[in-house]
Amino acid sequence: MDKNDMILISVDDHIIEPPDMFRNHLPAKYIADAPRLVHTDDGADVWKFREVTVPNVALNAVAGRPKHEYGLEPEGLDEIRPGCFDVHERIKDMNAGGVLASMNFPSFPGFAARLFATEDPDFSLALVRAYNDWHIDEWCGAYPGRFIPMALPVIWDARACADEVRRCADKGVHSLTFTENPAALGYPSFHDPYWNPLWQALVDTDTVCSVHIGSSGRLSVPAVDSPPDVMITLQPMNIVQAAADLLWSRPVKDYPDLKIALSEGGTGWIPYFLERVDRTFEMHSAWTTQDFGGKVPSDIFREHFLTCFISDPIGVRLRNEIGIDNISWEMDYPHSDSMWPDAPEALHEVLTQEQVPDDEIDKMTHRNAMRWYSFDPFAHIPREQATVGALRAAAAGHDVSIQARSHKVTSAQEKLGAYQSQIKAATAHTAS
């Protein structure tokens, strides 16, 4: 397949929320207490809510910036591409990158919206609903067919969460962002029937539970003084743990139509994982009493789980060991793993190298995403206008050059020092 003929739907991108997002959706009585974006004396923009400050961490918004500006220090909105937080500019960036559609995970509330859990359940629920309505009506609604809408969960109340899933489904939403480890956040685990109302709502509305790495706030770091490369390398390991936890849990047995996405987790690890779970079942199910109704765990995995990759040559090579119907592509804009605006080139190189036939390319680049998320962009955009080549032609003249945007020069040593300080603080908080 020619690169320009590909149709790309990314199932994992991110929003850096704009400062006015609550204006049109939060009841007036809560506006004064809502999270607000504050510009600090050092030029950073941070979200403040009650006693919590959430910085805009630089690795979350480095699209179009040189690699020497990567790091974990906070930054201002004027130091990142406007496409990170402005939907109109986002569409221009998507066109220039040849991407038809995108599913956007949240940033400052956290992937599971735990930030919004307060002592006032009505206020907390209002915050979740306001965020969801902004995301659905303003962000996704501005360009029909260009975004797969996603809802935040009411993570602290399973029944209220189920109600919100149903409310958002009535607005066309078929994706719920969720934590990979609710127990790490102080809530019941996946094995607890507490979550049954949520599983039922997801099945009833054909909504995918999109489990994103790092959503529990517990990224694997083996030592406080380890370099950041260790943390970055181990990020997908969190999703491996979630995959095992969910695969051996009751929900996948009790809810045959439950769909779970392992977001930003990659795919290269999956063939070994499937061999391991089948071996575990063969050797231990007699005493662990696991029963999949005559099937083996790898069968169940392929029935319930969607995976995603950025380029992942090993995963593409082993695509049929994973399940060609269980793989979707992601761009991860504007995070540091993203290859925007050259994602089509990077992806096409891997697909060509691995001699992937056109029908399998179509499945991984857009058809699987459309099917799993009940999403039809072609109801709004003619197929001939949806290709990499056509979108880039529509973006002619849009500047995608790499540009230094930081207002201050921070040395590598300073960046590493800031990282170590954050890890020590997070470790101390966890220990307490």
- Give the integer Cα–Cα distance in Å for 178 and 175: 9
- Give the integer Cα–Cα distance in Å for 425 and 408: 24
Rg (CA), the chain: 21
Closest to 114 measured CA to CA, from 97, 131, 96:
131
pLDDT of residue 12: 97
Strand blocks (E) in 286-424: 305-309, 327-329
Q: Is 418 exposed, middle or buried (0-12, 13-18, 19+ CB in 10 A)?
A: middle
pLDDT tens for 387-417 read 999 999 999 999 999 988 887 777 777 767 7
pLDDT tens for 198-228 read 999 999 999 999 999 877 655 555 566 788 7
Query: Tokens in use for 128?
Result: 């979740």
Does the pLDDT value for residue 419 go beyond 70? no
pLDDT tens for 221-259 read 556 678 878 877 877 777 999 999 999 999 999 999 999
pLDDT of residue 220: 55
pLDDT of residue 429: 44
Beta carbons of 311 and 339 less than 8 angstroms apart: yes
Kindly state the average pLDDT of the residues 8-28.
96
pLDDT band for position 430 (50/70/90)? very low
List residues bridging with 210 in a β-sheet. Answer: 177, 261
pLDDT of residue 431: 41
Kindly state the average pLDDT of the residues 330-358.
96
pLDDT band for position 173 (50/70/90)? very high
As a CATH number, domain 3-431 is: 3.20.20.140
Closest to 59 measured CA to CA, from 11, 103, 16:
16
Identity (one letter) of the amino acid at 296?
V
Query: In whole numbers, what is the pLDDT of the chain averaged over residues?
Result: 92
pLDDT of residue 214: 79
Pairwise pLDDT comparison (315 vs 59), residue with the higher score: 315
pLDDT of residue 61: 84
pLDDT band for position 37 (50/70/90)? very high
pLDDT of residue 230: 83
The predicted model scores a pTM of 0.94
Beta carbons of 149 and 171 less than 8 angstroms apart: yes
- Give the integer Cα–Cα distance in Å for 413 and 416: 5
Beta carbons of 181 and 241 less than 8 angstroms apart: yes
- 431 in helix, strand or coil? helix
Does the pLDDT value for residue 161 go beyond 60? yes
